[in-house]
Structure 1
């Protein structure tokens, strides 16, 4: 199986299955002498881990990680960093009912069709459990970006048809504090309460609901990205669309921009007293023009489909093509977006860190 690695200079490879002994990640290309704050990495994993509240899966995983290589006396050595996260709360018997059946809208059939074999216990490599490894690697990328003053912030901006008002993110610390004070991780407290109630109602009905996460990258310098196949927004799009359950990505004005005239949509350049000396009056470009960052805030939104496992009976077929019926069992999220905030931030950090290092080599 190919496709387990991501990035060029700051490159990660994840491994492991949902119901195996452990999952983990190898980070290749991390510069030496980076202070590796283990408490910070654990804090990022805690935001993604299961069992956080009544509106998330009740699988109990501490997601406590171990560093097996690449760090000495608290600093990166420049060699591959290996992070291991043991699996502690597998209940493989919860998946016995779909050993021979294909769950609707899951990877069961496509996985079987491609490889001729599949791990029915939680989906194996196609399980969202794999994303814990991404969050661990993304935390290291965040530590690298912090050295440059670059910040990555995301929050839940929509659940079902509910939409949070545009959030003032000029004070990112305040926004983060508000986000962490509610179960949904929405930066608008009033809408967060409404979203929580709605997700709880959906859960009690044995159903699921989708949502949206908005992300912001602040203090990103101009010049990251390349103008053809390695456009910065293209790599961000690939990163986000590689996350389980993601069905949509838009940056800047997104699809709404297609409804505007050029005279309204153009971001006019003006002098700025800042380090770059240039900024734009508006930011419909989402901080990226021609595939290259322009120094403004990078903004994008990610759409997640409803979790495919629902606690209701549905018709399906088995691997022999016979009609059958299936009903979800076990522990699953009624809405994935509260836990996915950490994943979106991690993937964004990995992309920016990789492009930052790639851009840095141009000046050598």
Structure 2
């Protein structure tokens, strides 16, 4: 299987299956001297791990990370960083019957079509559990960004029809909400809506918004390696994501040019924009303003309601999926989106260091 590696200079490769022995990642290209610990990475994994609220799968996994290489005496050595999270509560028997049919909304059929064989235990590599490795790597990228005063903050913008009111937005509320919403009034309404759908044995989707502050201008390439294109690829690589936009996104299609263009303004030695419809990216490169992006997360595919499908003998059947599943993916995916954005930014920041001769000369001057 190809396609488990992301990045050019800051390169991340994940491995492992949902019900295998563990999930892991190798981070290659991390600069030496970064302060890192298992305890620090654990704080990010704790935001993603299952079984924390009634809105997530009851599968209990501590998701303890172990750093196997690349860190010595609390600092990165510049060599590949290998990390592993061992699976503790696999219940593969919950999935034994799905070996013979294709679950709606899952990759069962496409895996069989591609490989002629699949790991049916919880979805194998296509399982959301693979994102554990992304978050572990993302924690390292976020530490690098923090050292550069660049900050990435993601949160739940909407769940089903319930959307946050930006006049009530307070980032301090994110960790106070079980759904990671920065508007606690919207969070309460969303919880009521979600409980209603859970009682109907159904699932719910939503939108995650991510804001990057402190990003310098000029990061990204103007053609195929655009910053927004790379962010789109990274975010869309998360299994549950079905839509992506930067700035005003699809709304810009209905706007006029004079309303959509961001006017520039210069004052006190600083160039800035009066608005930010572009979401902080122009011509594939950061423009120095906040980067604002959104990811649409589909409803959880595994639901207990009766569904129609086909078995491997090509017979039409009805199924009720068993096992331990999230009624909503959005809250646990917030830190995943945050991680994918961070991984992309670090990789392009490192590539940008070679974009100008004067900067290279300054770095290597005696």
Q: Which TM-score tier does this pair reach, normalised by the shorter chain? A: over 0.9
Aligned to 2:16: 16
Aligned to 1:356: 349
1:308-319 to structure 2, matched below 5 A, reads 308-319=301-312
Aligned to 2:28: 28
1:88-127 to structure 2, matched below 5 A, reads 88-127=88-127
- The answer to whether structure 1 residue 79 and structure 2 residue 74 are counterparts is no
How big is the shift at 1:63? 0.6
Map Cα deviations across residues 13-64 of structure 1 (whole Å, 9 max, x no partner). 0000000000010000000011114322101000000001001111101110
CA 1:167 to 1:2, structure 2 compared with 1: closer, same or farther past 3 Å? farther
Q: Unpaired segments of 5 or more residues in structure 2?
A: 361-366
1:1-364 to structure 2, matched below 5 A, reads 1-166=1-166, 175=171, 177-273=172-268, 277-362=270-355, 363-364=359-360
Task: Give the Cα separation in 1 of the matches to 2:307 and 2:267.
Answer: 58
CA contact (8 A) 1:167 1:187 kept: no
Task: Give the Cα separation in 1 of the matches to 2:217 and 2:180.
Answer: 30
Task: Give the Cα separation in 2 of the matches to 1:329 and 1:72.
Answer: 44
CA 1:272 to 1:346, structure 2 compared with 1: closer, same or farther past 3 Å? farther
Q: Unpaired segments of 5 or more residues in structure 1?
A: none
How big is the shift at 1:333? 0.7
CA contact (8 A) 1:10 1:350 kept: yes
Map Cα deviations across residues 145-166 of structure 1 (whole Å, 9 max, x no partner). 0010000001101111111122
Structure 1 residue ranges, 4+ long, deviating more than 4 angstroms after superposition: none
How big is the shift at 1:239? 0.7
CA contact (8 A) 1:98 1:326 kept: no
Task: Give the Cα separation in 1 of the matches to 2:23 and 2:279.
Answer: 34
How big is the shift at 1:201? 1.7
Task: Give the Cα separation in 2 of the matches to 1:335 and 1:279.
Answer: 39
User: SS at 1:57's partner residue?
Assistant: coil
Task: Give the Cα separation in 2 of the matches to 1:37 and 1:257.
Answer: 43
Query: 315-324 or 291-300, which moves further after superposition?
Result: 315-324
CA 1:125 to 1:154, structure 2 compared with 1: closer, same or farther past 3 Å? same
Instruction: Provide the TM-score with structure 2 as the length reference.
Output: 0.96
The number of aligned residues is 357
